Structure 1
């Protein structure tokens, strides 16, 4: 007959004690759930009990774990047609967080595999969809595609920000916290870290903020403070680059740093900069004082006069210059009266010189550490200058004597 059900009698033998409507309802639900990927024996037992129970209860939920997710299958009893699956509530625990889950409601056409894939992606990607608005299969697949795209973007964003931290000298200390905050979907957040230079501790607070479209995070500035001194300063980044963590320490210590800067028109220029501790901006930050190329400060003029041990070795001079440009207090060994002396050099653009100090921090004169040939030239120049001065004095003396004899 055309209306005869295509049911294998062997599959319904255990339902002989109930009516045919319940048998059909059970078979249809079991087939539907199996097609969706729900095929646990526990589920079938629960399903059989629900269908065969002579109760006036119109709504019934069956709970089951499958594919690493928790499911609540919601059924509604319809008049003359038995129970119908009308909603699937799926949730998944967030690793490392107690009593915290991602969840989503689905319509009855969404299989287990699709639901669990969407939940797993939601663990790693900010999910702005209302979880209480049930998704059908087509909507779920479209949303999975979106989450996968966002997941790739998040990974790229995270990788970029982690490389930025390395380039700025903050290392990998905050990588895990950075990843957690990006996944959380916060509009903005801060990360705390610290570094130690020359046995001095510096505390940093890194500021991150999501873009206008909430698709990418940006590292725009950080606060730095010397723990043992009352000195704090905020350093702003431009397109992911700027003052490094070590350079920030050097600037706060009073030294100069050489950087490539950009003006309001986007034009790039090079300048030595120092923190101007006599002037502040409106937000309380110390101003940065630049010395551009027009200032004509070239520390190599002083460096090339010093009798530095090993300075002619390959790369030694460049290494020294780069260290000074980063604002470091660079140690060298120089010759003084035939003896080796440890010196510390610092760039000083404001006074057009290089600061020289010994290991005690006492200021030293460049003249005492000049190359031998320059010392000889200097003595020759001094003798010539003295001779000219003596000759001028004798000339003046003869003029006075001539006037007196008149």
Structure 2
């Protein structure tokens, strides 16, 4: 009975690491089992990710804690991005049932892109949809984390409308939905779009601050400008705020 219980515990943690985007690597699982079987109340696992821009490297330290009742949980992970100039960007990401960024979303944030979340708005005390990105201009918090730059619903970021205005071409209707979801996760997405009366293949990044897409060719050379969508009210600007540590629901 105990063997089955232990098996389920290990499987749960392995599935959790897979869900968080850390994969199912043999070494990862060996390190996990070693930590589970150790007498230490806390243990760490180090791993990496290849889901970065060329020239960048992502390292993760996963932090686990054991309870007196025998439970084992991953509490958080420390993410560090090293770019081709050997500059380091790091952030501590908490992990729980309602607040977990995947490894890829962590990479996207550290590389300067935005991620869509459900965010607790301190002004309204309500859960709202928001886009967040790191504010690299402000000093880090005492916990060593970046401040979030948030774009709430009233700021007017409508990904569907932005995609329509950007003249993207989709071979199938479901490709549009998949593209929107991927853009909102902060990914660099392969797209087709109209450029000078021609259909061009390239890549796109969602830019919530200017409510537009940044369009690139396949070599990541910028093709369009930062011109925002027309007809958006200027008074939305105050809806962009910097918030330190707020509740995030995935």
What TM-score do you get using the length of structure 1 for normalisation? 0.49
**Paired residue secondary structure (2:23):** coil
Q: For residues 182-241 of structure 1, give each alpha carbon's deviation from its aligned partner in whole angstroms, at most 9, with x where no partner exists.
A: 122320000000111243321111000112x24111111111111333211111112275
1:191 and 2:45 are equivalent in the alignment: yes
Greater fraction strand: 2
The match for 1:339 among 174, 198, 203 is: 198
- The alpha carbon displacement at 1:293 in A equals 1.9
Residue 202 in 1 paired to residue 58 in 2?
yes
Q: Residue 160 of structure 1: CA displacement?
A: 1.4
Closer/same/farther in 2, CA of residues 226 and 169 from structure 1, 3 Å limit: same
Please say if residues 189 and 204 of structure 2, whose CA atoms lie closer than 8 Å, have aligned partners that are also in contact.
Answer: yes
Residues 260-306 of structure 1: CA deviation (Å, up to 9, x unaligned)? 34579x96442211011123211221122222223221122121123
Name the residue aligned to 2:94: 236
* CA 278–196 in structure 1, closer or farther in 2 if over 3 Å, else same: same
Larger radius of gyration: 1
Unaligned runs of 5+ in 1: 1-147, 368-406
Q: Which moved more, 1:215-224 or 1:227-236?
A: 227-236
> Which of 125, 128, 145 is matched with 1:285 structurally?
145
- Let me know the Cα RMSD of the aligned residues: 2.4
Q: Does 1:181 pair with 2:35?
A: yes
TM-score (norm. length: structure 2): 0.77
Unaligned 5+ runs, structure 2: 228-250
Higher helix share: 1
The equivalent of 2:78 in structure 1 is 223
Larger relative contact order (Cα-Cα within 8 Å, sequence gap ≥ 6): 2
C-alpha contact (below 8 Å) 2:206/2:212 kept by paired residues: yes
The aligned residue for residue 170 of structure 1 is: 22
